[in-house]
Structure 1
Amino acid sequence: MTLFVAALTSAFCLPLYSLLLHGLASDLHSHVVLVPLVSLFLLRERRATMPPAGPAWLGGSVVLAIIGVATVGASLASRRVLSHNDHLALFALAYVSLLAAGGAWFKGQAWMRAAAFPFAFLIFMVPLPDGAVDWLERASVVGSTDATELYYRIFGTPYLRRGVIFELPTITLRVAQECSGIRSSWVLFITSILAANMFLRTTWRRIALVAFVIPLGILRNGFRIFVLSELCIRIGPHMLDTAIHHRGGPIFFALSLIPLFAFLWWLRRGEGAPTPRAA
């Protein structure tokens, strides 16, 4: 298996290197650099409970290999049509599929079932396609605008709304796609999936934690827009050119972790102490 991983990585070295550079240069896809390390950590942590390697899982390896080879072909055939991001997304998907095919062949079905989550987590190595990013940004803008209006009503801020535009006492504010907060929401979504798998045992609680991220991300981004607009009203419109607007995302992301982990704690508490068999 080790030789297969080395050979596969060598064969994909150029697109993987391009993916690394793309992740380092992108705010949205910077997490792709860490995803393989997280999967390796999860495999290492579960090594003691993993079953021994068994006979090759022929069906699984063939299906995954077909997906990988077909994706490579699609990437090569459409390289002049696709954007650089979408081209890398296809190559990353092919790499993950072929890696899983190797695991199914060399480790067997029982081992792959035990390692399902670490392998499935590698899907986050695949950058979001441009079309998906555009759709998510537009949806997030609508949700964030509604959340911002909710904060205005709660705190009594006078406003007039026209679509995604707010007319405030000292400034007219437009919620643009650049203010969608999609990067923080995507990282929050990945964090919730990882936390749900590591700390929760029951399926419905895992689903509840991940689903909780959707309204949480919208409310967080709406709160960021609300805070920024309040600063513009009370201090001045020049607050739009300060660091809290251009580089304040990590602060609000950290704040959103508080309700996320509080909800995780509540869900984990509801499960009670694990039985010896579950442990």
Structure 2
Amino acid sequence: MKRVLKSSDVRAARRRLLGFVAGLFVLCCLFVGGLTDWFQLALRSNLHSHTLIIPVVTIFLIVTERKSNNGGFCSTLWLGLPMLGLCLGGWLFGLSNQAFNTGVHHVSLQLGFFLAGVWALTLTFFGLGWVRSAFFPLAFLSFMLPMPEVVEQGLEQWLITASAQVSEMILRLGGIPVFREGQLLELPGVTLEVAEECSGIRSSWVLLITSVLAGYLFLRTLPSRLILVAVVLPLGVLRNAVRIAVIGWLCVEEGPELIDGWIHRKGGPFFFAASLIPLLLIALMLGKLETRWLSKSNQSR
């Protein structure tokens, strides 16, 4: 039986939506400098270029799941307005702190307060119940934030070291003599260095975001979603190691000039696409295990 909405309810919903759009427009005007810096960072940085699609994904999820987001429109002024005030106050205080007025810190500060403002506006016009039902799409916006430099450097170094170790193992399993010293791999006739460009940090980060989204869309339990996210870093290391091992094998078998071949220069997207296959298989396996566990759980009740 379909629920028939009263004309007054429809008008009230439209007013709330228009109020939210107007508030969002004002918020964008206030943060136009920070949003411009974020957009420019995404255009010039390979690591952050994916952030431009995050708002599009969020809007898509909200629109496609609007029927399931049945928390109902109920204004939460007592929570939304104080949160908006704290957001703007913190933003103004942060602008006066010179330590956060340069580089990625500046972009993260501005964008973080902007996203907090979006949450505050959502609470104000749509209410706590609706925010709960649309929690994941709203939380997904946090991937717009640039990765902190200290996290980027630490993750990049870990990926380099792990990739060099695993590629050494693969080469030895393939019968190719190899001596590793740090991130240097000495092969017959050629020496490979696993440099920052070979870390695969961007593709691993994008793969992590993909796993979070896939877990939300295709899995139903939190443990399954966490397992899917947990396999991303090992999968990223294995992907890098296989690519390095293939380059090393070609250099030994065909000649050291292949170190500058297609696989090294433009093979990244191919290996990234290949890494999506095991991620999809793991998601399907987890989905089947979930179905079995939920069916047994229902039968035992």
Alignment check: 8 A CA contact 1:58 1:104 kept: no
Alignment check: 8 A CA contact 1:141 1:175 kept: yes
Q: Distance in 1 between matches of 2:95 and 2:239?
A: 36
Q: Distance in 1 between matches of 2:150 and 2:265?
A: 24
CA separation of 1:72 and 1:260: change in aligned 2, threshold 3 A = farther
Find the residue that maps to 1:172 and give its secondary structure.
strand
Match of 1:171 in 2: 190
So what's the TM-score if we normalise by structure 1? 0.91
Q: Distance in 2 between matches of 1:193 and 1:185?
A: 12
Alignment check: 8 A CA contact 1:147 1:219 kept: yes
Counterpart pick for 1:49 among 42, 51, 68:
68
Q: Distance in 2 between matches of 1:75 and 1:233?
A: 55
Alignment check: 8 A CA contact 1:68 1:93 kept: no
Find out whether 1:211 has 2:235 as its counterpart.
no
**Which aligned runs of 4 or more in structure 1 are off by greater than 3 angstroms?**
57-65, 79-82
So what's the TM-score if we normalise by structure 2? 0.85
CA separation of 1:215 and 1:65: change in aligned 2, threshold 3 A = farther
Q: Unaligned regions of 5+ residues in structure 1, if any?
A: none
Match of 2:15 in 1: none
Alignment check: 8 A CA contact 1:232 1:238 kept: yes
Counterpart pick for 2:276 among 246, 257, 273:
257
Following TM superposition, by how much is the alpha carbon of 1:64 offset from its aligned partner in structure 2, in angstroms? 6.7
CA separation of 1:206 and 1:70: change in aligned 2, threshold 3 A = same
CA separation of 1:162 and 1:108: change in aligned 2, threshold 3 A = same
Q: Distance in 2 between matches of 1:134 and 1:39?
A: 28
Q: Distance in 2 between matches of 1:105 and 1:53?
A: 10
Percent identical among aligned pairs is 38
Counterpart pick for 2:78 among 58, 63, 69:
58
Counterpart pick for 1:106 among 95, 118, 125:
125
Alignment check: 8 A CA contact 2:75 2:123 kept: no
Match of 1:132 in 2: 151
More displaced stretch, 136-145 vs 59-68? 59-68
Alignment check: 8 A CA contact 1:72 1:91 kept: no
Alignment check: 8 A CA contact 2:100 2:106 kept: no
Letter in structure 2 aligned against 1:74? G
Q: Distance in 2 between matches of 1:70 and 1:228?
A: 50
Q: Distance in 1 between matches of 2:202 and 2:88?
A: 27
Q: Distance in 2 between matches of 1:23 and 1:224?
A: 26
1:54-89 C-alpha deviation (Å, 9 max, x unpaired): 130634663575356425532452267632x23112
Find out whether 1:18 has 2:28 as its counterpart.
no
Q: Unaligned regions of 5+ residues in structure 2, if any?
A: 1-19, 296-301
Match of 1:196 in 2: 215
Alignment check: 8 A CA contact 1:69 1:94 kept: no
Alignment check: 8 A CA contact 1:65 1:97 kept: no
Find the residue that maps to 2:74 and give its secondary structure.
coil
Q: How many aligned positions are there?
A: 275
1:18-39 C-alpha deviation (Å, 9 max, x unpaired): 2222212221111111000000
Q: Distance in 1 between matches of 2:194 and 2:280?
A: 28
Find the residue that maps to 2:192 and give its secondary structure.
strand
Following TM superposition, by how much is the alpha carbon of 1:45 offset from its aligned partner in structure 2, in angstroms? 1.2
Match of 2:90 in 1: 70
Higher Cα Rg: structure 1 or 2? Answer: 2
Letter in structure 1 aligned against 2:97? A
Match of 2:51 in 1: 32
Following TM superposition, by how much is the alpha carbon of 1:235 offset from its aligned partner in structure 2, in angstroms? 2.0
Find the residue that maps to 1:272 and give its secondary structure.
helix
Match of 2:178 in 1: 159
Alignment check: 8 A CA contact 1:171 1:233 kept: yes
CA RMSD of aligned residues (A): 2.2
Q: Distance in 1 between matches of 2:109 and 2:250?
A: 43
